[in-house]
Amino acid sequence: MAVLRAVDLHKRYGAGDSAVDAVRGVGLELAAGEFVAVVGPSGCGKSTLLHLCGGMDRPTAGTVVVDGVDLAGLDDEALTALRRERVGFVFQFFNLLPTLTLAENVALPLLLAGVSSHGALERARAWAGRVGLGHRLGHYPARVSGGELQRAALARALVHEPALVIADEPTGNLDSENGQRVLELLRSLNRETGVAVLLATHDPLLASAADRRIPMRDGAEVREPAADLLSAVAVKT
Provide the minimum distance between the beta carbon of 106 and ligand ATP in the complex, in angstroms, as a whole number.
Answer: 26
Find the part of the chain contacting ligand ATP (CB under 6 A) among 1-9, 27-35, 41-49, 154-162. Answer: 41-49
C-beta of residue 216 within 8 angstroms of C-beta of residue 45: yes
Give the contact letters, 42-81, x = binds to Mg ion (CB under 5 A), - = no.
----xx----------------------------------
Asked whether position 171 contacts Mg ion by CB under 5 A, the answer is no
Provide the minimum distance between the beta carbon of 50 and ligand ATP in the complex, in angstroms, as a whole number.
Answer: 8
The interface with ligand ATP within residues 149-188 (CB under 6 A) comprises: none
Find the part of the chain contacting ligand ATP (CB under 6 A) among 39-47, 119-127, 158-166, 222-230. Answer: 39-47
Nearer to ligand ATP, 42 or 237 (CB): 42
Find the part of the chain contacting Mg ion (CB under 5 A) among 40-48, 64-72, 179-187, 210-218. Answer: 40-48
C-beta of residue 57 within 8 angstroms of C-beta of residue 46: no
Asked whether position 46 contacts ligand ATP by CB under 6 A, the answer is yes
Count of chain residues binding Mg ion (CB under 5 A):
2
Task: Name the site residues for ligand ATP (rule: CB under 6 A).
Answer: 13-14, 20, 22, 42-48
